[in-house]
Structure 1
Amino acid sequence: MTLNKQLLLLVTIYLLSLINIKSQNNLNRRVVWSLEECLEYAIANNITVKKAILSKNSSDLNLKQSKNNRLPNLNANINGGMTNGSSIDPITSSFQNEFYKSVNGNISTSVALYNGNKLTNTIEQNQLLVNQNSLYIEQAENNIILSILEAYVQALYTQEAIEIAKNSAKSTEDLLKQGQIKFSNGALSRSDLADLEAQNATNQYNIVSAQTQYAQQVLALKQLLELDPKIDFQIEIPELSDSKDFLIPNKEIIFEQAVNKLPDTKIYDLEKQINEKDLEIAKAGYLPTLNLSGSLSTGYSSTRDYIDFGRQLDGNKSQNVSLSLNIPIFSKFQNKTNVALAKINIQQSELNKIQANKDLYQKIEMAWLNATTNQAESKSSKTLRDTSKLSYDLSIKKYEFGGSTTTDLLVSQTNYLNAEQKYLQTKYMGLLYQQLLQYYQGQPIKIQ
């Protein structure tokens, strides 16, 4: 290798290392991840997706090789040896009883002229396998998208639950301070003060519990992304308005769109076509095969030293061209078995298609039912949250003026917190169901 080439190689390696370091540093510096960034990263790095891509690459190679199998082969063979004693000279075919050396070589080729269209059907089958593996890649990407979406929405829900818990705790802390003053002045019993202290402790615990649930959801999302445990990771919190009703199409329409756009059932259409090609290949076993072959050979023997090496090779040349017809008569019923197995596989693929359609419809029906139910609950849960908040605010004012007991106040707070949690759950579940229905209709996942 010249000096210039060595320098070029070193510079290239250095630049590639800088690119890799910069990419890793960017990943390490990225702390807050949006949903779009999570989806993009997961699709590019998920192990299942990578395995599906490798399977696709393998099928591409198999397709290329099946096309190359149409070409004739070409082989060369050279043999050399020394013989002593009685033997037949392989070059002159004469009887010899002496020590001699011989060399012979040949070039041969053969090509299949007819094999029951087995090569053609194999090429077409391998093309179907390439197409099917492309759908498997799409299916793997869709599966990780749905997993990321669900984990992300759950993380959003638990994050907002932290804020609710903190607000509730802040409200209780203020009430506790007022209660301590009232108790000092003799306007509040020790029992009521104890109730406020217990509620304050409960609300503090609720904050820790909500933070733990959020950390668990973030960890689950991080594991789905297969990120290095050392990387700091938090989710981006989008600005979401109150849940609004969205148009829910008829579930039959959604199913029709899903069948046309998603790979879930298309995979089994291709599986049936692949098995049908297997049947055609199996039937080819009953048909004769016709091959064309040819060879060119020559040799040298020391028993003919009076003729030099070059002239012997030229004079000993022989050519051969032949046609070979192979007619199957009895294959121990192997062809019959292969045909029967291929037919069973076709029936199996038909059942797989039916099952895939059934599973897809059940998923859509469940998402559709959940979305419909959620819309019916969203208005009532918002109304309940708003009225419970108003009731709680009024209870605080009444309590401050001595118009209600501590027990009444704490009951009102508990009712408000339960209503807030119900509304929060309805809000984020509605967001999830909306995205699921968009996915089944072939629309992109995007939280707005």
Structure 2
Amino acid sequence: MKLNISLATLALLFSLSASAQVKKWTLEECVTYALEKNISIQQSQLDVQTAEYNKKSAMGNFLPSVNASATHNWNNGLTQDVTDGTLKVQTTQNTSVGLNAGVNLFQGLTNLNTMHRANLQILANQYQIDGMKDDIALMVANSFLQILFNKETLKVRQSQYDLTQQELERTQTLIANGQLPEGEIYELEANSASQEQQIVVAENNVRLSLINLAQLLLINDYENFDISTEDYDIPASVILDTRPSDIYQKALEIRNEVKVSETNVEIAEVNYDLAVGGISPTLSAFYSYNTRASYQDRAGTPIVNPADPTSDPILGYVTSTQEPVRVPTITSTTVSPDPIYDQFDRNGGHVFGLQLQIPIFNGFRNHVNMQTSRITLEKARLQLENTKIDLESTVYQSYNDALAASKAYVAAEKTLIARQQAYDYAQERFDVGVINSFEFTQTQQQLEAAQSELVRTKFDYIFKIKVLEFFFGIPITE
């Protein structure tokens, strides 16, 4: 017996220890964790990095381009020998190096507009990320409040079940004392069985809502995931005292979907300016330096051979004296190539100047680019107007929803008070046998429905107030 008690005590302590280790997540922790782990946000952050590199590329357009080149070639085959002019099968080598630089002096403000567009794209991507964060925060808050609603509903079901058990015990006592007929307990037992089923459904709803939030947070340990249920009463808010038009004007200033649409209009305007720049003349400056060297032997200065002038071939005769005119015998020489650095220095050349290009006709390409850019700009402006209209509709709808939820909650409170009074009165009448168990159960079920409706309207009101405050710039976690 002592061993059994000891084992039971250890099991209880282990169970309490395990449950104590389960982290209770607050709403703020859930929102923060979701924003850190969300894959879509991480993908959009990579888009921001891409936009940063595009900005760096746009900055580079203002700088001159400098390129160096070097070529070394072998020519193998039948070529002319530079020393004697004969054709020979030989291999020659040549090296050439060069340096080229260029800069755009004017290009229809293309570089400036490209830089402006890159900055706007970074801004648009950041606004898009902030908008995604807002949507995720609302999704997390909705899932969080759904768990709270399901837990409160479970408490109501369990509380009503406990009351029913007390009534069963009291009724059994009255039947045993002969104060009530035996059939009076059947309706209570049926109601107790129905409440047990409702508890099972409520417990399952709690588990499913916890899993849903855990999946939203990318947490796989569903069994040990739970939330904190402290301090989640009706928030003290004065947002309903604010006019919907004022909330809308505030939303126009802070909502990211509006900022994204406005930035897209600016990007479309810059793209149109870029298209217009395509028909502008362009002016650029250029400079290049090139030199070369050869590794082939070259012909040297010819040498006259005076050893035997009479052996030189006769070109002709002097008319007056008939003296022969001879061609001196010239011996060609072969000289090794100059050092490569000397050749580079001697053969170097510079080219520099300005280049003006005026577009005249390019197959309608510039005209088409301008027209399509203009259409895109008009679409962006219409999208901005549509975004504002949708936001205004959403704000007014959210205001009306929050106002209706407030009234529904107040009505549910009054209904619960009345149902509680009716239940207490019915219980007194049931205890003295004035009403039967069926009538008493009906009153109890109406009380349960009122309690459930109060829980539903409470969390519906909390969420809709949070949504309305969100449009006014109040964080969802406050």
Shorter-chain TM-score range: 0.7 to 0.9
Match 1:39 to one of 31, 46, 54 = 31
Given that 2:239 and 2:468 are in contact with CA atoms closer than 8 Å, whether structure 1 keeps it comes out as no
Partners of 1:281 and 1:390 lie apart in 2 by 76
Q: Any idea what SS the aligned residue of 1:111 has?
A: strand
**Residue 353 of structure 2 aligns to which amino acid in structure 1?**
S
- Report % sequence identity: 23
The 10-residue stretch of structure 1 (223-232 or 408-417) with the greater mean CA deviation from structure 2:
223-232
Instruction: Tell me which residue corresponds to 2:453.
Output: 422
Match 1:300 to one of 293, 299, 302 = 293
Pair 1:33–1:277, CA change in 2 (3 A): same
CA deviations 1:346-398 (Å, max 9, x no partner) are 11111111221122122212210111112222222111101211221222222
Pair 1:35–1:306, CA change in 2 (3 A): closer
CA deviations 1:125-176 (Å, max 9, x no partner) are 1111111111011101101001011111111111111110000000111112
Partners of 2:266 and 2:257 lie apart in 1 by 16
Instruction: Tell me which residue corresponds to 1:103.
Output: 95
Q: Any idea what SS the aligned residue of 1:71 has?
A: coil
Instruction: Tell me which residue corresponds to 2:378.
Output: 347
Given that 1:282 and 1:339 are in contact with CA atoms closer than 8 Å, whether structure 2 keeps it comes out as yes
Given that 1:245 and 1:375 are in contact with CA atoms closer than 8 Å, whether structure 2 keeps it comes out as no
Instruction: Give the Å deviation of 1:231.
Output: 6.7
1:253 pairs with 2:253: no
CA deviations 1:90-149 (Å, max 9, x no partner) are xx9x98844321111111111111111111100001111111111011101101001011
1:193 pairs with 2:224: no
Pair 1:244–1:205, CA change in 2 (3 A): farther
Instruction: Give the Å deviation of 1:64.
Output: 1.2
Partners of 1:328 and 1:95 lie apart in 2 by 49
1:133 pairs with 2:125: yes
**Residue 201 of structure 1 aligns to which amino acid in structure 2?**
A
Q: How does 1:312-391 map to 2 (within 5 A)?
A: 312-391=343-422
CA deviations 1:221-245 (Å, max 9, x no partner) are 1111111245721010023446767
Partners of 1:240 and 1:207 lie apart in 2 by 22
Q: Any idea what SS the aligned residue of 1:432 has?
A: helix
Pair 1:95–1:165, CA change in 2 (3 A): farther
The 10-residue stretch of structure 1 (348-357 or 188-197) with the greater mean CA deviation from structure 2:
188-197
1:435 pairs with 2:466: yes
Pair 1:30–1:400, CA change in 2 (3 A): closer
Instruction: Tell me which residue corresponds to 2:435.
Output: 404
The 10-residue stretch of structure 1 (267-276 or 43-52) with the greater mean CA deviation from structure 2:
43-52
**Residue 286 of structure 1 aligns to which amino acid in structure 2?**
I
Given that 2:234 and 2:458 are in contact with CA atoms closer than 8 Å, whether structure 1 keeps it comes out as yes
List gaps (5 residues or longer) in structure 1: 1-27
Q: Any idea what SS the aligned residue of 1:273 has?
A: helix
**Residue 287 of structure 2 aligns to which amino acid in structure 1?**
G
Instruction: Tell me which residue corresponds to 2:270.
Output: 277
What RMSD over aligned residues (CA atoms) do the two structures have, in Å? 2.2
1:225 pairs with 2:217: yes
Instruction: Give the Å deviation of 1:179.
Output: 2.6
Instruction: Give the Å deviation of 1:85.
Output: 4.7
Partners of 1:408 and 1:230 lie apart in 2 by 43
Instruction: Give the Å deviation of 1:247.
Output: 4.3
Instruction: Tell me which residue corresponds to 1:235.
Output: 227
Instruction: Give the Å deviation of 1:30.
Output: 5.8
Instruction: Give the Å deviation of 1:186.
Output: 4.6
CA deviations 1:57-99 (Å, max 9, x no partner) are 111110111001211112121111222455589xx9x988443
Instruction: Tell me which residue corresponds to 1:263.
Output: 256
Given that 1:381 and 1:426 are in contact with CA atoms closer than 8 Å, whether structure 2 keeps it comes out as yes
Structure index of larger Rg: 2
**Residue 197 of structure 1 aligns to which amino acid in structure 2?**
E
Match 1:159 to one of 140, 151, 154 = 151
Q: Any idea what SS the aligned residue of 2:284 has?
A: strand
Instruction: Tell me which residue corresponds to 1:171.
Output: 163
Instruction: Give the Å deviation of 1:261.
Output: 1.1
Partners of 2:447 and 2:149 lie apart in 1 by 18
Partners of 1:110 and 1:244 lie apart in 2 by 67
Match 1:48 to one of 36, 40, 44 = 40
CA deviations 1:167-224 (Å, max 9, x no partner) are 0000111112223334445544454322111100011111111111111111111111
Q: Any idea what SS the aligned residue of 1:286 has?
A: coil
Given that 1:86 and 1:95 are in contact with CA atoms closer than 8 Å, whether structure 2 keeps it comes out as no
Given that 1:86 and 1:96 are in contact with CA atoms closer than 8 Å, whether structure 2 keeps it comes out as no
Partners of 1:286 and 1:277 lie apart in 2 by 15
Judging by fraction of residues, say which structure has more helix. 1
Instruction: Tell me which residue corresponds to 2:55.
Output: 63
Q: Any idea what SS the aligned residue of 1:110 has?
A: strand
Match 1:119 to one of 111, 117, 128 = 111
Q: Any idea what SS the aligned residue of 1:266 has?
A: helix
Pair 1:43–1:245, CA change in 2 (3 A): closer
Given that 2:102 and 2:286 are in contact with CA atoms closer than 8 Å, whether structure 1 keeps it comes out as yes
Match 1:309 to one of 340, 343, 351 = 340
**Residue 471 of structure 2 aligns to which amino acid in structure 1?**
Y
Partners of 2:446 and 2:184 lie apart in 1 by 19
Pair 1:52–1:138, CA change in 2 (3 A): same
List gaps (5 residues or longer) in structure 2: 1-19, 299-335
Instruction: Tell me which residue corresponds to 1:16.
Output: none
Instruction: Tell me which residue corresponds to 1:204.
Output: 196
Given that 2:104 and 2:285 are in contact with CA atoms closer than 8 Å, whether structure 1 keeps it comes out as yes
**Residue 193 of structure 1 aligns to which amino acid in structure 2?**
I
TM-score normalised by structure 2 residue count: 0.83
Partners of 1:52 and 1:253 lie apart in 2 by 32
Partners of 1:444 and 1:61 lie apart in 2 by 32
The 10-residue stretch of structure 1 (143-152 or 232-241) with the greater mean CA deviation from structure 2:
232-241
Pair 1:244–1:41, CA change in 2 (3 A): closer
